Structure 1
Amino acid sequence: MAAPSHRRPRDRKRRTALLPAAAVATVALVIAVALAARPDHRPDEDVRAAATPAATVHPTPTHRKPTATPTRPKAKATKASPTAPPNPPRPSTTATDRPAPATAPLAGRIRPHVTYQGTATFYDAGDGDGACTYGPTDDVMTAAMNTTDYETAKACGAYVRVRAASGAAITVRITNECPAPCAPGQLDLTAQAFAKLAAPSAGQIPITWTLLSPATSDTVSVRYKTGSSAHWCGLQVIGHRNPVARLELRTGSGWRALPRAEYNYFLSEQGTGCGGALRITDIYGERLTADAIALRPDTVQPTGQQFRAHTG
């Protein structure tokens, strides 16, 4: 039972009203009987009600974007992005829990016909080179993908359509990786690309984005990494319309799929198949075969082929 009140009566003589002991006991008995009559009453409730303090409500903490967002691991530093406004929308990762659509059986986290939610920030892209190691470029409509959706370079070369809440939209190509604190769903755009969606002073904005299979006049090319030989080689695919899912080299025992490094080269550690025919497969399962790709390191060699365009 709650402790009796010690507030003074409001009459000017400040007299204290006393109740006879019998009256106090009677009131206590009435309250106890009323509590016991409740269907959900438990004997220990009276004790806990008196002993438990009122809950303290803490304000919801606000999210604060770090002062700098690196986007090239182990290499060039990037300039700091402006401080983000408080409470940006939490990125949604629901789409990544669904099975890949039947139209893209080799897709990873980034899939066609799926709209992803996240935030957009921006950075100084410098000469345009990034974690995908495509090399310097004058193309400013590019972006760094967060590490989770970068997925060991699977996102490299993908085209995505980015849309802001205002309705403004742009298409960018993924050429870089944005490590933590970039969250799933987040894109770190070049400063020029971000400016087409919002004023730079915004710093960070909510966005949605989807994978594209754009029209292009380019054909797919390949490049052997510097240092490649008949004993070790790395191959990179360039100019592809759709994300690349697999690269295989032809060996004496058939086609051999190569593992992909985070810097976007497929590696043959023992040199098996280096300098021979190769086969490239996109996320939709389409294969391009090239027989005349010589083992010439650091040289872009066109295949004369391109993957089919997909709508959606």
Structure 2
Amino acid sequence: FTYEVAPVFTLMEKYVVNKMLGLAGLSSGDGIFCPGGSISNMYGLNLARCKRFPEFKMDGMTSLPPLRILASEQAHFSIKKGAAFLGFGTKSVVPVKCDVRGRMLTSELEKNIQMIKSKGEEPVCVVATSGTTVLGAFDPLCEIADICDEHKLWMHVDSAWGGAVLLSKKHRELMSGIERADSLTWNPHKMMGALNQCSVFLTRHKDMLTKSHSTGAEYLFQPDKCYDVTFDTGDKSVQCGRKVDVLKLWVMWKSKGDKQLEKAVDNALDCAKYLANRMADTEGFRLLLQPEFTNICFWYIPPSMRNEKEDEGWKTRLSKTNRLKEKRV
């Protein structure tokens, strides 16, 4: 198994990773399948730290100034969880204000970076989001990349949810600028429809996974094996032993092809637009904003509340209607 089957799965992984790197506009780079988007985001944070402070791997956090991670206030909770797990601490995550559609305000990002530096702290990474959990918002990647370039910060994009738009010629502009990211998370078990779990971490830096994680254990990763030792991905991963998550995606992608997956993404966004339009025209439903993605945010206003003054008390009562279990005729 070790010498014959394992390299075949690794070859599949290399093929799919390179395919996804190409879709993201990253002509070269590296990647690895991870047990979920939260772990993939943790990879991004760790590589950002190791890139900025390579001595961390040997010396630990005590050798570093206070590090800060900037992420929008709509970012996934895994950023704080990852900060805690990796030793940054949850307080190291600095929330950046968003506009009414849930997109990071780059003016606020710049202000926060200046504030961090003025306190003698070190900004090390900006986490942008492509497809936020609640509103389905896409942060302005080009503008964020400009700021990251100016301040020499690692740019990680959490596109666990929204990464599938890269399959669509019609909608990939939602992630315009992704080719400038240092790393990204993409979960095919979401909109692509792969079986859970199936998450990929991608980075433009071909050697950073190895530099950040390798310990060179010669009793496992001998350089004189009878096959190409680049198939030994265990040393560049956090885990070593991993499930063959690539197999389910490789088989699905082979069976459906690029065009079918593109049609599925386009159809999902078309259905979201249709539903939003129906809600806007249906009594009792109030669309809160036109969807940017497939997330539909709305209120259902029961007949007894439709002609009342919409003050804070009204909103409090309305927020409880979805939790009520009552018989409706």
> TM-score, structure 2 length as denominator?
0.20
> TM-score, structure 1 length as denominator?
0.21
Higher helix share: 2
Q: Which has the larger radius of gyration?
A: 1
